[in-house]
A and B are shown apart, each in its own frame.
Chain A
Amino acid sequence: MAEEQVIERPESERVIAPGYTFGTVTDQISAVVMTRHTPVFWIASFVIAFMLLQGLLASAVLLFAKGTGIWGIRTPVMWGFAITNFVWWIGIGHAGTLISAILLLLNQSWRNSINRFAEAMTLFAVACAGLFPLLHMGRPWLFYYMLPYPNTMNVEPNFRSPLVWDVFAVTTYATVSLLFWFVGLIPDLGTLRDRAKNLISKYTYGILAMGWRGSARHWSIYETASLLLAGIATPLVLSVHTVVSFDFTVAIVPGWHSTFFPPYFVAGAIYSGFAMVLALAIPLRAAYGLQGLITNRHLENSAKIMLATGLIVAYAYIMETFTAWYSGSVYEQQAFWNRMTGPYSFQYWFLITCNVVAPNMLWFKKFRSSPLLLFISSIVVLVGMWLERFMIIVTSLAQDFVPSSWSLFHATRWDWATYWGTIGFFLVLFFLFIRALPMISIFEVRTLLPQAKVREEVRG
């Protein structure tokens, strides 16, 4: 006896362009993968990304040979670019989980056509983020010292340290993101298996699909699993950047030791993550002609979330400064005064321009409905959020309590090569993903079609 469902399903028309059928949706999305023809856009982007990746490999080799001195990290700024990039990358990942988990729980069906590649973005961003603490150790082959396991050295990690919390938070985040992404892929892998022409792809997709056959019994369990995973991933995504912010707030460094860092970091993470979603979606849909599936409405909604989180971030900047002034602590006041007027004032005001001033253009519908302007503003936000992390880390460390120990940070070419190298790494993984796997969730887009609705007269 199923109880009558009172809540109407939300209207799902206008999410994607009219005129699609189950067949054309399937064909259009899988055509990107199921073809021998690789578009010039893909090859060109991949080549550029691959060249950037070589920068990462070269700097990693030099780093292992010579040590972390090849970077600009000197006392007192020992965190420099490595931790800036770590926080930046992991923040970018957050939008993917927000789209796939939180928007699923909130029944926002428009997410269906952007969640797949946003989740892939999460996965690859976390991979890039994870590289930085490892490289920053200088001896990455000793990373297992961070894990608690019975060992002959008779030492164990200190569970009171936020850096150990970070290890657990980031590895959990990477694992759960991978599982969530893979579970979402299973039905589409089945579709690709059934459509594959040559033997190798048939077997590859066949093995990955694990014999998925779209059975109603399986779908019912699958839907439960998706909801549960979303429910699990929601607190996780909020916790990950919270734990990252603990790396700062638990320390007593002026400019870090503040209770509102967790929400401030999470908002900033989603802000930069949606910027990355837009920066990827806009060129992709143009290159592959997917404007019917990733519509202007998707871009506009993402822009609105960007605006909302951007305003939270702006509020955080104001509160941070106010708290520093109101605290009466000369060190806190000095830290913020130095940010605004000291040696890093150019970066500070550039960051305010990128993160606080520029996004206000998103208030205007005209601006939001232009993909080109949205693309530019997403790049501006990505730059701004990177600068924010740079400001927090470098200015606070460079000028803390005792002026005699103050010293500025100067990035070397290897700092830049490592940073741009991870952008290459990210893009290489991303372009391999869009070539080999459906970048839009085929089965979830099918549910958006008007034909997918079962007509009322049968319910009885």
Chain B
Amino acid sequence: MSSERGTYGVMAEFEDPTSLVNAAHAAYQMGFRKLDAYTPFPIEELSDVLHLHKNKLPLIVLGGGLVGGLTGYLMQYFVSVIYFPINVAGRPLHSWPSYIIITFELTILFAAIATVMGLLGLCGLPMPYHPVFNVPRFSAASRDRFFLCIEATDPMFNLQTTSRFLESMEAKEVSEVAN
């Protein structure tokens, strides 16, 4: 750990997605694990080389949907059978076919809310401050430039050698990211 305390990492700027994916691939092969890429649009191949394909979101959504469905059904059962039973033309109080729609709608509603909450939670958003924004060129990451940042917390990180490694990857510019 030879990183300076004020350094978040080293960031390289690339002009096209192919060189970014190449660099990310090489960095991952070299053994760097604390690294992240910043791109203006999702790049499938980047998730491949950084091994990012697994996440917990589907489980969270499944949980949300199950909770929603149970809430919907039990709410209707409780209200119609226990709390406020009314005899409508002799129909059974627990007339489950007519409960299906609200059960379905609440399943969808809870699952959708769980998706968004899960997305924000897993991404750690909202995040008012992040060091990568200290790089002046970084605003181009939401326009037309591609960035790769190797973070100082990586055990292999060394300001000089890591910078040199990134420079060798046809980066347009390599800069230190202040913390």
Question: Would A220 and B37 count as touching, CB distance under 8 A?
Answer: no
The 5 closest A-B pairs by CB, nearest first: A22-B144, A210-B126, A211-B127, A194-B139, A216-B37
Question: Can you name 15 A-B pairs with beta carbons within 8 Å?
Answer: A156-B84, A160-B80, A175-B113, A217-B52, A217-B123, A218-B123, A220-B55, A222-B42, A223-B42, A224-B55, A228-B58, A229-B115, A232-B112, A236-B105, A452-B43
Evaluate contact between A225 and B39: CB separation under 8 angstroms. Answer: no
CB of B173 within 8 A of chain A? Answer: no
Tell me whether B39 and A165 are in contact (CB under 8 A): no
Chain A residues contacting B139 (CB-CB under 8 Å) are 194-195
Contacts of A223 in B (CB 8 A): 42, 47
Instruction: Tell me the bound Cα distance from A7 to B67 in angstroms.
Output: 35
A412 at the interface (CB under 8 A from B): no
Q: Please give 14 more A-B residue pairs, beta carbons under 8 A apart, in addition to A172-B105, A187-B40, A221-B119.
A: A23-B143, A148-B79, A158-B88, A159-B79, A191-B143, A194-B140, A216-B37, A216-B52, A220-B53, A229-B112, A239-B105, A239-B108, A453-B17, A454-B45
Query: Which B residues, 101 to 132, have Cβ-Cβ distances below 8 Å to chain A?
Result: 101-102, 104-106, 108-109, 111-113, 115-116, 118-120, 122-123, 125-130, 132
CB–CB A224/B57 < 8 A: yes
Bitwise, B42-79 to A at CB < 8 A (1) or not (0) is: 11111110111101011001000100000000011001
153-176 of chain A: CB within 8 A of chain B: 154-160, 164-165, 168-169, 171-172, 175-176
Cα separation A160 to B42 with both chains bound (whole Å): 45
Instruction: Tell me the minimal C-beta distance from B69 to chain A in angstroms.
Output: 12
B120–A220 touching, CB < 8 Å: no
- Residues of chain A touching chain B, judged by Cβ–Cβ distance below 8 Å, are 2, 21-23, 26, 148, 154-160, 164-165, 168-169, 171-172, 175-176, 179-180, 182-183, 187, 190-191, 193-195, 210-225, 228-229, 232-233, 235-236, 239, 243, 246, 443-444, 446-447, 451-455, 458-460
Pairwise interchain contact A444-B46, C-beta atoms closer than 8 A: no
B-side binding surface: helix, strand, loop or mixed?
A: helix
Chain A: CB-nearest residue to B24: A216
Does the CB pair A220–B143 fall under 8 Å?
no
Chain B: CB-nearest residue to A235:
B108
